[in-house]
Amino acid sequence: MPRLQQAGAARPRTATVLAALLAFAALLFGATGAAAAPADVRQAAEAPQPAAAASSVSGKTYVIGTDTTFAPFEFRDAGGELTGIDMDIIRQIAKNQGFSVEIKSLGFNAALQALSSNQVDGVIAGMSITEPRKQIYDFSDPYFESGVQMAVAKSNTDVKGYEDLKGKTVTAKTGSEGETFAKSIAGKYGFTVKSLDQSATMYELVKSGNAVAVFDDYPVLAYGISQNNGLKAVSEKEKGGSYGFAVNKGKNPELLKAFNTGLADLKSSGEYQKILDKYLKDPSQAAQSSFWDLLANSFPALMKGLGNTVLVTAISFALAMLIGLLMGFLKISTSVLLRGIATTFVNIFRGTPLLVWAFFFYFGVPQLTGQPIDIWVAGVLTLSLNAGAYITEIVRGSIQSVDPGQLEASRSLGLGYAKSMQKVVVPQAFKIMTPSLINQLIIMLKDSSLLLAIGFAELLYQGQQIYAGNFRITETLLIVAVLYFVVIMLLTKLANVADKRFNK
Ligand code: GLN
């Protein structure tokens, strides 16, 4: 019975699992510890401020959400730094009023959701002040007049007005005024609206012919067209709301007040006009750089993203293993109750999309509890619970596929049930489950890219931030894909070597 001899190998593995558990606990506490800092700031900011509201912001740090790209209001410069009219305004007001800002580039719709869930303190994103929004947010004084306009591909000679849209598809940004406007006339002119999250992908959709037109704010379209983005405006601008800085209704009133005071100061000192002129009068033309320049410029940001991808996967996998082992054993237990718990867990997390949980943990839970949740905690919970459900089944299947004769033989040699499991069955099950676990790890690394939807700065998110600014989608995605591929190849090699060493 040679297989029985493997029993001894279980011990170092237990030690490895324990070490992973400890490392995970340390990391998790580290992450929540880090999360506590902004929460404290937020609490302090929410405390009633009796007098001198403007000074009550001084020394504090506020988290501000914004769009990924809404040039010239927010976009990344060649060095990857967030820049634009909104960025200059909020930074100068912060300086003027003595507070600090931490900017989170989330995307327009995600920024609004983050504000509703108190994940950010305010939003500046070329956000129009509209009646429905005033019901849920408090707005600053308006700082820029805007309105919606329609643009088509430069080469398009068929679409000159709304009448030419019959039976066609147009695009607009999810949750934006442009989308609301397009939808309001879609029935009348007989077109369909396909909503996307980002300006860059909207424009790409039009250039590729998958949509004939885009509805967006006219200053943004005008800026893009001046940068040769391949579009041309065809309609008159529709009257729209002015842009304002928003906070959650009733929250951070001192921040709103400081914004208004600072804005008035910038206007009277002429700074405000200088900012507008900098971006609108003489926008620097984006120079067409080579692929190698693109690679060199984007590499540091992509590497940072890759680091986060690998780290969030590693932490989540360690946790998923713990969950999977625990639930896997519950699944083969003799108790109906314990089996029921494990089955329910698997059904819930295997039966629902990962993204639903990412949104739930990051945007939903804070709305229920009133406490913001750290993005790492939300990301790790999402990935580990999902993978934990699959690993549960892997563990159960592997244990059950160990020849029952092994258990019988061990018992007949006088070992008890628990000892037989520990020394004979489980070590063999580990050998069976290793290839499936490697698969699961690779799936998890790829799935972690979904976390970009909540603004987690992993690899694909960084890629998106880059092409949102330079519109070079194909090349950027190619670089991102190669990076994923290389890491997954290395991981597979490593896992196979480990498998060969430990599971001989
Ligand atoms: N001004 C538009 C709105 O508020 C679009 C803003 C944006 O896309 N960042 O809906």
Q: How confident is the model at residue 57 (pLDDT cuts 50, 70, 90)?
A: very high
Q: What is the pLDDT of residues 208-236, one digit of tens each?
A: 889 999 999 999 999 988 888 889 999 99
Cβ of 269: how many Cβ atoms within 10 Å? 12
Q: Could you tell me if residue 233 is inside a domain?
A: yes
- Does 165 lie in the same domain as 136? no
Ligand 1 centroid, distance to 207 Cα (angstroms): 21
Which residue, 386, 317, 387, is CA-closest to 352?
386
Q: What is the pLDDT of residues 252-290, one digit of tens each?
A: 999 999 999 999 999 999 999 999 999 988 766 555 678
Q: Which atom of ligand 1 lies nearest, measured to the CA of 216?
A: 5
- Does 133 lie in the same domain as 275? yes
- Does 429 lie in the same domain as 329? yes
Distances (CA, A) of 204 to 91, 210, 250, 265: 31, 9, 39, 39
- With a 6 Å cutoff on the Cβ, whether 173 touches ligand 1 is yes
- Does 425 lie in the same domain as 312? yes
Q: Could you tell me if residue 224 is inside a domain?
A: yes
Could you tell me if residue 285 is left (phi over 0), alpha (psi between -120 and 50 degrees) or otherwise beta?
A: beta
Two structure tokens written together for 494: 């490593």
- With a 6 Å cutoff on the Cβ, whether 179 touches ligand 1 is no
Q: Could you tell me if residue 22 is inside a domain?
A: no
Provide the domain limits for residue 434. Answer: 290-502
Q: Which atom of ligand 1 lies nearest, measured to the CA of 173?
A: 8
For 236, the enclosing helix (H) or strand (E) is none
Ligand 1 centroid, distance to 55 Cα (angstroms): 30
- With a 6 Å cutoff on the Cβ, whether 128 touches ligand 1 is yes
- Does 408 lie in the same domain as 316? yes
DSSP per-residue letters across 94-113: HHHHT-EEEEEE--HHHHHH
Q: Could you tell me if residue 2 is inside a domain?
A: no
- With a 6 Å cutoff on the Cβ, whether 139 touches ligand 1 is no
- Does 448 lie in the same domain as 482? yes
- Highest averaged pLDDT of the listed ranges 124-138, 271-285, 452-466: 124-138
User: Which long-range contacts link 154-161 to residues 24+ away (Cβ below 8 Å)?
Assistant: 154/230, 154/231, 154/232, 156/212, 156/232, 158/212, 159/212, 159/213, 159/234, 160/234, 161/234, 161/235
Residue 483: strand, helix, or coil: helix
- With a 6 Å cutoff on the Cβ, whether 127 touches ligand 1 is yes
- Does 248 lie in the same domain as 221? no
User: Mean per-residue pLDDT for 153-177?
Assistant: 95
For 238, the enclosing helix (H) or strand (E) is strand 238-239
- Does 248 lie in the same domain as 336? no
Q: Could you tell me if residue 153 is inside a domain?
A: yes
How many domains, in total, are found in the chain? 3
Two structure tokens written together for 443: 């799936």
CA 300 and chain centroid, separation? 19
- Does 233 lie in the same domain as 178? yes
Q: What is the CATH number of the domain that holds 385?
A: 1.10.3720.10
What pLDDT is attached to residue 240?
80
Which residue, 16, 48, 71, 39, is CA-closest to 321?
16
For 82, the enclosing helix (H) or strand (E) is strand 82-83
Sheet containing strand 122-123, strands side by side: 100-105, 61-66, 122-123, 246-248, 137-139
- Does 131 lie in the same domain as 79? yes
Ligand 1 centroid, distance to 366 Cα (angstroms): 24
Q: How confident is the model at residue 375 (pLDDT cuts 50, 70, 90)?
A: very high
Determine the residue of 173, 179, 183, 238 to mutate for testing ligand 1's pocket, defined as the one with the most ligand atoms within 8 A of the Cβ atom.
173
Determine the residue of 108, 145, 148 to mutate for testing ligand 1's pocket, defined as the one with the most ligand atoms within 8 A of the Cβ atom.
108
- With a 6 Å cutoff on the Cβ, whether 458 touches ligand 1 is no
Q: Could you tell me if residue 4 is inside a domain?
A: no
- Does 428 lie in the same domain as 333? yes
Q: What is the pLDDT of residues 412-428, one digit of tens each?
A: 999 998 899 889 999 99
Q: Could you tell me if residue 16 is inside a domain?
A: no
Q: What is the CATH number of the domain that holds 208?
A: 3.40.190.10
- With a 6 Å cutoff on the Cβ, whether 108 touches ligand 1 is yes
- With a 6 Å cutoff on the Cβ, whether 176 touches ligand 1 is yes
Q: What is the pLDDT of residues 1-16, one digit of tens each?
A: 344 444 334 444 444 4
DSSP per-residue letters across 118-146: TSSSEE-SS-B--HHHHHHEEE-S--B--
* Cα radius of gyration (the chain): 27
- With a 6 Å cutoff on the Cβ, whether 177 touches ligand 1 is yes
What pLDDT is attached to residue 502?
75
Q: Could you tell me if residue 31 is inside a domain?
A: no
Checking if the pLDDT of 315 tops 60, the result is yes
Cβ pair 408, 481 in contact under 8 A: no
Ligand 1 centroid, distance to 126 Cα (angstroms): 5
Report which of residues 368 and 261 the model is more confident about: 261
- Does 125 lie in the same domain as 272? yes
Cα dihedral 193, 194, 200, 203 in deg (nearest 10): -50
User: Mean per-residue pLDDT for 36-52?
Assistant: 40
**pTM for the full predicted model:** 0.75
